[in-house]
Amino acid sequence: MISGHDHCLVLLGRSFHFRKISSSGAISGEAVGEESGLSIEPVSERAIPWASIYFAQIIEEAVNFEASPVWSPSGRIVLDDRNKTFITSTRDHWE
């Protein structure tokens, strides 16, 4: 769900916070959590100031925000949903 206001965009989604991500010993399909440097917040509405939005990517298929983050075979972190929705890669976080 998306709604707009004068000063922000409101999205229904989930926030992921990253420390230095470590894929050491990661197995494809294995859950990613705090021990790997990923902190996850529950699904809720998020307000993002318009001035903070540099670009947006439209995802055609519905995303299951409740899906668990897992390691993909390529070392990326994806949601374990039908689309394997990309969250981040270890390269983005200086492993």
The per-residue pLDDT for range 66-78, each reduced to its tens digit, is: 999 999 988 888 9
pLDDT at 95 over 60: no
- pLDDT for res 44: 92
- pLDDT for res 26: 79
Where are the chain's structural domains? 2-93
pTM above 0.95, yes or no: no
- pLDDT for res 79: 93
- pLDDT for res 78: 92
* Higher pLDDT among residues 36 and 40, named by residue: 40
53, 68, 42, 19: CA torsion to nearest 10: -60
